[in-house]
Structure 1
Amino acid sequence: MQFFKVKTVEETFAQIEELVKAVKETEVIPLEEAFRRVLAEEIIATESIPSFPRSTVDGYAVKAKETFGSSETMPGFLNVAGSVQMGEAATAPLQSGEAIYVPTGGMIPPQSDSVIMIEHCEDLNGLLNTYKQVAPGENIIQIGEDVRVGEVLIENGTKLRPQELGAIAAIGKTHVTVFKQLTVGYLSSGDEIVPYTTEYLEIGQVRDVNALTITSLVQEWGAKAVYAGIVTDDYDEYQKRAKELFEQVDCLVLSGGSSVGAKDFTTQVIESLGEPGVFIHGVSIKPGKPTILSMANEKPVIGLPGHPASAMIIFSLFGEKIVQKLSGEASRNKLDRVQVRLMKNIHSSMGRTDYVRVKLLERDGEWWAEPIIGKSGLISTLVQSDAMVEIEAENEGARQGDLVPAILLR
């Protein structure tokens, strides 16, 4: 195999889209445990929401035509015929010339067709003065206006956020069918790497920062992270530990040995895990060119650069896409982007996509991006950053004041 026959960022995403398939196992779980899980069914509304016409304001249910012409100088007059309490069925129909008080969310009485806000009327001992006319249907949510029986409320493949959980709860569904929660394994390599809990470092030693950054990203995406520790630069030991972890997880992540060097065994280890093997070894990107992506027996394997900042940026770009595909989540844009304006010129080499860390500042209703200057191995540049500005491969940088896409670092 030839090293560093680099692919573009777009080619890399296309290969992930083509080769990575969803894990098909599903389970039924209680709704309260379903946050960030991916639906493996369509949610069909079994009842209408709301199930009765309800008011969107505090006010008086009226017949709209009986308020026509009402104004501050020429008010209309209606008799207050009672009130509706929250949680109470309004059964008495509204008669001509009457108004009935209804709180926000309360049921609209039969024969009424609108609600006048309390700010636009005045109850004077049972005589309601109306100072504004209302239109039919104003300030009312009709039966099924939110959700109708038989509608697809939520699509298969949706990652469940608080709003989806609330919508499912609203139709009385207490359990959902979801795809199996993914397990992503992470193993660090390198003679110089020591546990991040190491209090005192010997000369040449480096704490395993990636153990926290990579596993935290995995958890943020709704998967389980399994950290398998650190392995030294010994091929047999590295291969054994990687194989053991590979058998336990849905996706394997290795870091610390993706460049071409005397002690780099990562590519060999990855190739030993199964067919078809490595499909990406090098991406035209900065930082993170020596990235490895592989498929082994239908499981993705990711080889990350060892530098913490590079590893985190590459994993944020391609790892999230791989986890999304594996999880069964419906296809979406590869990453959510916002448009920001540059505070300084940024140089970039044509033919390579650059991701430049930036700090975001708000000025006059716009977001401005201040580049954080630093080498790819500096974790402090990520701490200072709010986003990554993307300079596409066909551009030779960007100028101060240009609008450019940025990926938020959540």
Structure 2
Amino acid sequence: MDFFNCISLSKAQSLIESRLPVTATLIEEVLLPEALGRVVAVDIAAGEDLPPFSRSTVDGYAVLSRDTFGAGEGAPVMLDIIGEVFMGQAAGFSVRPGQAVIMPTGGMLPAGADAVVMLEHTERSDTETLLVLKPVAPGENVIAKGEDIRVGNIVMTSGTKLTPADIGALAACGIAKVKVRAQLKAGIISTGDEVVDITETPVGGQVRDINTYTLAAMLTEAGCKVTRYGVVKDKFEDLLATVGKAASENQLVLVSGGSSVGARDHTVQVIEELGRQDIVFHGLAVKPGKPTIFGMVGSVPVFGLPGHPVAAMTICQTLVLPVVYRLQGRGPNRVNCRIPARLTRNCASAPGRDDVLRVKLNWQGGEYLAEPVLGKSGLISVMTQADGVVRVPADSSGLYAGDIVTVEVIREA
């Protein structure tokens, strides 16, 4: 095929999607405390109602709501106090018309009662008589049995990445073990005669290896188990051996640098050699990230990313992470947090290519303002200042100050 024949971002996404397996990870069972951030492998159904009994949400008195209709401070309703419910114990009596029971927050609602009057809306004329100063509706200040989760309902669907709240819901249902996807194994290789490890002091035209660390951090944050294969010099045989090793040990491989068309850019030839001509595309009509490569080595997707840090991170965010989600069983269409914001300045774009604009978000006047963070693709500070990205489509010649744009958030507050 003709390399560096730039294709659109949407076409690249379709080509990648067509070549991926449904999922690349096995299923394993872990204890609930170890499940945070893991991806649920099978639907999880509730084995019991939650809560398992109707309970009060306030300190007060369990009553029949109809007994309180018309109650007011000038004309309180009088009820007989017949007992008290204690935390962790079942009520050993039923509430009948004209009666009330002392209730703690979280206490089990006695039979017959359908509401709880807040303590603040009552008075006691004596130890056995309650004065209700405000009416309650049926179900008020009560969580009914099964109102949160009903037995048999799906608590977590397959493909869910578990959050602290999800862990709490599973704990409430008594689910101590969870079947999750094994962590996706990803290998990262950095290339270039000029690239040295961060522990070394660059001399002459050398630069420290940034991409290995940024890309590994992005994939680790996405739930991958990352292996770094270090820096490989611009020698075909060395890169061939390292990519081959990485492809045999992982389910996804990223090669940073060596994706352009120079004499020392060997990534295309390496994927051809290992994948038997299986280059899917080389070149994107997108800025930054034009020299991106995608190919398959057997069933392992391999990306050749630009060497410039901003370009490498942008393509990782745009193309690689959706692959990670797909291989984790999270589906290809997962959407990151997106918010509307007002652009603060004009931003030109060349028609025929997708531009990825980095922006800093500021809250002002009741809305988010998106301030473009401008800089060349070799400047890592451009990414450290950005809170999100705005995608400028290929059929646009740019955006104008004041436009409402959709910002894909890449940094948590």
Q: Given the two structures, how large is their TM-score scaled by the length of structure 1?
A: 0.96
- The equivalent position to 2:172 in structure 1, one of 155, 170, 174, is 170
Deviation per CA, 1:159-181, whole angstroms, max 9, x where unpaired? Answer: 22222222222221211222221
Q: Aligned equivalents of 1:262 and 1:24: distance in 2?
A: 37
Deviates more, 1:328-337 or 1:68-77: 328-337
Q: Aligned equivalents of 1:279 and 1:325: distance in 2?
A: 18
Do residues 143 (structure 1) and 145 (structure 2) align? yes
Q: Aligned equivalents of 1:72 and 1:275: distance in 2?
A: 86
Q: Is the 8 A contact 1:16 1:321 kept in 2?
A: no
Do residues 209 (structure 1) and 210 (structure 2) align? yes
What SS is found at the alignment partner of 1:245? Answer: helix
Q: Aligned equivalents of 1:276 and 1:104: distance in 2?
A: 68
Report the counterpart of residue 184 of structure 2 in structure 1.
182
Q: Aligned equivalents of 1:216 and 1:155: distance in 2?
A: 27
Q: Is the 8 A contact 1:276 1:297 kept in 2?
A: no
Deviation per CA, 1:137-176, whole angstroms, max 9, x where unpaired? Answer: 1121111111111122211222222222222222212112
Q: Is the 8 A contact 1:285 1:352 kept in 2?
A: yes
Q: Aligned equivalents of 2:73 and 2:351: distance in 1?
A: 67
Matches within 5 A, 1:14-93: 14-21=14-21, 22-93=23-94
How far the C-alpha of 1:129 sits from its partner, in A, is: 2.3
Q: Is the 8 A contact 1:276 1:295 kept in 2?
A: no
**Matched residue type, 1:333:** R
Q: Aligned equivalents of 2:363 and 2:97: distance in 1?
A: 55
How far the C-alpha of 1:105 sits from its partner, in A, is: 1.6
Evaluate the alpha carbon distance shift between residue 114 and residue 97 of structure 1 in structure 2; reply closer, same or farther with a 3 A threshold. same
Q: Aligned equivalents of 1:272 and 1:365: distance in 2?
A: 56
Q: Aligned equivalents of 1:279 and 1:318: distance in 2?
A: 14
Q: Is the 8 A contact 2:325 2:334 kept in 1?
A: no
Q: Aligned equivalents of 2:147 and 2:332: distance in 1?
A: 29
How far the C-alpha of 1:51 sits from its partner, in A, is: 0.7
How far the C-alpha of 1:370 sits from its partner, in A, is: 0.7
**Matched residue type, 1:157:** G
How far the C-alpha of 1:352 sits from its partner, in A, is: 1.4
How far the C-alpha of 1:331 sits from its partner, in A, is: 4.1
Q: Aligned equivalents of 1:93 and 1:399: distance in 2?
A: 68
Deviates more, 1:283-292 or 1:3-12: 3-12
Report the counterpart of residue 386 of structure 1 in structure 2.
387
| Misfit runs of 4+, over 6 Å | none
Q: Aligned equivalents of 1:334 and 1:89: distance in 2?
A: 46
- Tell me the number of residue pairs that the alignment of Structure 1 and Structure 2 aligns: 409
Do residues 159 (structure 1) and 161 (structure 2) align? yes
Matches within 5 A, 1:8-407: 8-21=8-21, 22-126=23-127, 127-198=129-200, 200-275=201-276, 277-407=278-408
Q: Aligned equivalents of 1:331 and 1:318: distance in 2?
A: 11
**Matched residue type, 2:136:** V
Deviates more, 1:322-331 or 1:15-24: 15-24
How far the C-alpha of 1:38 sits from its partner, in A, is: 1.6
Q: Considering only aligned residues, what root-mean-square deviation do their CA atoms show, in Å? A: 1.5
Unpaired segments ≥5 residues, structure 2: none
Evaluate the alpha carbon distance shift between residue 17 and residue 116 of structure 1 in structure 2; reply closer, same or farther with a 3 A threshold. farther
Q: Aligned equivalents of 2:79 and 2:97: distance in 1?
A: 9
Q: Aligned equivalents of 2:216 and 2:182: distance in 1?
A: 18
**Matched residue type, 1:48:** D
Q: Is the 8 A contact 2:212 2:256 kept in 1?
A: no
**Matched residue type, 1:138:** E
Q: Aligned equivalents of 1:65 and 1:275: distance in 2?
A: 79
